[in-house]
Chains A and B, each alone.
Chain A
Amino acid sequence: QKEVEQDPGPLSVPEGAIVSLNCTYSNSAFQYFMWYRQYSRKGPELLMYTYSSGNKEDGRFTAQVDKSSKYISLFIRDSQPSDSATYLCAMSKGNNRLAFGKGNQVVVIP
């Protein structure tokens, strides 16, 4: 069983819709939870970062962490064509290693 599971299926949504992405994990030692965005032919860039359980909001983006269920989510409100990218969840125990999910390709259709 992989440490981090992210269903890699592509997601197509109309502009303005809410995008919902999630990851599950098996290692209860993970404390730091991140979402990276990767545009085509580019490296990943940090989008959201949370520590332990709870919600964090940044503009149209909301990250949720439920440590009891080992489940994290990312919501994108009022999605825009510029949000079309691959979204990767990542997590860490607080050491030097990031464990990534496989990523979800999101396409926002104008």
Chain B
Amino acid sequence: DSGVTQTPKHLITATGQRVTLRCSPRSGDLSVYWYQQSLDQGLQFLIQYYNGEERAKGNILERFSAQQFPDLHSELNLSSLELGDSALYFCASSDSPSGSIYEQFFGPGTRLTVL
């Protein structure tokens, strides 16, 4: 168990809808990262927050947004959902602003299915 929790485990919704995925980092970790994993694209970095501030942005669509709250939990909001958004969404945390140097600990993921 990595210590990172994600809810919900599974989410099934329809095209055009909006969903919110939630992540609680390991105790003491200030950095939270969001990734999308699909069969054709693999694991893709979306966005990073460090202590409430956006730190780095990857291949995140404009329909997606995230935030990190004062208690350090983070939410990823996905709107105007399309079939192609169906994927596994992972949250990871680390105790450093530069997570590539220090280990990133991944949560169990949220499986999103858009019908």
Task: Known A44-B106, A45-B106; judge A92-B43 contact (CB<8 A).
Answer: no
Write the chain B residue with the least CB distance to A103.
B42
A8 partner residues in chain B, CB cutoff 8 A: 42
Task: Known A43-B90, A45-B2; judge A97-B106 contact (CB<8 A).
Answer: no
A101 partner residues in chain B, CB cutoff 8 A: 42
Task: Known A44-B43, A99-B45, A102-B42; judge A32-B101 contact (CB<8 A).
Answer: yes
- Classify the interface of chain A: helix, strand, loop or mixed: loop
- Asked if A13 CB lies within 8 Å of chain B CBs, one says no
Pair A98/B106 contact, Cβ less than 8 Å: no
How many chain A residues sit at the interface, stated as a range, is 20 to 34
A95 partner residues in chain B, CB cutoff 8 A: 56, 98, 100
In chain B, residues 91-115, which have Cβ atoms closer than 8 Å to a Cβ of chain A? Answer: 92, 97-101, 103-109
How far, in angstroms, from A1 to B31 measured CA to CA in the complex? Answer: 29
Report B28 CB to chain A, min CB distance, Å. Answer: 17
Inter-chain residue pair count (beta carbon < 8 A): 65
- Asked if A11 CB lies within 8 Å of chain B CBs, one says no
How far, in angstroms, from A80 to B41 measured CA to CA in the complex? Answer: 29
Pair A43/B100 contact, Cβ less than 8 Å: no
From B44, B97, B101, residue with most partner A Cβ within 10 Å? B101
B109 partner residues in chain A, CB cutoff 8 A: 42-43
B2 partner residues in chain A, CB cutoff 8 A: 43, 45
Report B87 CB to chain A, min CB distance, Å. Answer: 13
List chain A positions with a Cβ less than 8 A from chain B: 6, 8, 32, 36, 41-46, 49, 88, 90, 92-103
List chain B positions with a Cβ less than 8 A from chain A: 2, 4, 31, 33, 41-45, 48, 55-56, 58, 90, 92, 97-101, 103-109
25 A-B pairs whose Cβ atoms sit less than 8 Å apart in the complex: A32-B100, A42-B108, A43-B106, A44-B43, A44-B90, A45-B2, A45-B105, A45-B106, A46-B103, A46-B104, A88-B43, A94-B100, A94-B101, A95-B56, A95-B98, A96-B33, A96-B48, A96-B55, A97-B56, A98-B99, A100-B45, A102-B41, A102-B42, A103-B42, A103-B43
